[in-house]
Structure 1
Amino acid sequence: MDKNNITILKIGGSVITDKSADDGAARVDEIKRIASEIAGFDGKLIIVHGAGSFGHPQVKRFDLTGKFDHTGSIITHMSVRKLNTMVVEALNSAGVNALPVHPMACTVSNNSRIESMFLEQIKKMLENDFVPVLHGDMVMDSELGTSVLSGDQIVPYLAIQMKASRIGIGSAEEGVLDNKGEVIPNISNENFEIIKEYLGGSANTDVTGGMLGKVLELLNLSEQSSSTSYIFNAGNSGNISDFLKGKNIGTAISGVKI
């Protein structure tokens, strides 16, 4: 595998936390298992993880998608940081040279969309064989004061800026499912309108748009970069290591050149 190619792996908050909990409940065994699967990979890797019950309930409690709140912003950021520390520590215990990168410290959004992100330290980390670990977070926002930044938005932004060659979205589903519960193998602009009606929000508290939000971000990414992303079940043992080994699993999302 070419070590100059960058892989981005997103680990859903619903996989590493109990998303139905009212406050941060981590799935410690899952975090350890995922860390051990990642440890076998020797290419350049950026990890982004969701906030799950360390972010979504807090955002809802303080109504942070609708208004600016100092206390809510701080509590939510400190909560997602806690989860990030657990993920980074598990990765290091498994032999991965992981370092935390908190979006609150390097990102400014405008009306909840990334306006700028300082990427120099991420580039240097990759050059020196570290694995940067980002996460869903509260960030400063030039219009709103602060806003929620989802891992689902961080992934395509980084993929474009860092020219990533492979993108994996490890969710709690086998992929994107149709109305019969079957995995849809490929999604592109050509079949999106049909598939859109199958895509609801998330089963638990999700302030970032659930599966539909993920697919829209990744379709947009594919149009801008001609890359393909894979949505697969990170809760199934072996899927993350299979993805990192180059296997195409779950649902592939790619744009169609018009």
Structure 2
Amino acid sequence: MDGDPHDWSLLPLDLLRLLGEKLELPHRIVFRTMCKSWCSALPSVIVPYPWLLLPAQQIDDSCTFLPLPSDNEHHSYFKFSPVPPLHGMCYAGSNGGWVAIVDLAFNISLLNPLTRAQIHLPSLLDLFPCETLPNCGGYIFHDKKVGNYYFNDFETCRDYHLKKVIFSSNPTPNNYMAMVICNGFPSAYTKAGISKWINLDFSMRDLIYYNGLFYALMGPLEIVTIVIPPNQ
């Protein structure tokens, strides 16, 4: 509301409540994030959980949210325009209403599609021993095991090598942790204040984040706790 000659936060609460109750669910959530008075005018939004986020079929199209279980006769699904556009993005993970999205150049960010908050993470491209060939639309990889080179186009490379991104709950630009599992390459982590991904020199089968810690499935009967050092 900066720069607006009218102080919209001073509107009567009963008027704000009447306006807010007429909004669809995603817009009510955004409504409550505007300022303290707008937030207090509406009760906390009860969000149906879990949701499916269906990607846009066209560039700059709206994404679709579908609560599960869904009753389409009662309009339980809704469309919402994301920022940035999600068309062509890879959905690599989710946590608490946030999603990890990755483009073809391995630029990664955490996005809240409802509030439109976005946190940019370091590029994933440095994790892979490859050379970008923009004129050919892909990457050249060096296979150290056999000493050969091979080519992957941008989309195949991203969708094959990027397996999963797991991140901490309620992330902010100054407080987040994230880990990535890659096919054919070791796992890595990053956190707020670090400008790169740090290689862990080992791989894992799966990974979850729970109650402030990462838990990794290393084998059929082996689960380990991974603690990210606070000084790194």
Query: TM class, shorter-chain normalised?
Result: under 0.3
The structure with the largest alpha-carbon Rg is: 2
Which of structures 1 and 2 has the larger relative contact order (alpha carbons within 8 angstroms, sep 6+)? 1
What is the TM-score normalised by the length of structure 1? 0.22
TM-score, scaled relative to structure 2: 0.23
Q: Which has the higher strand share?
A: 2
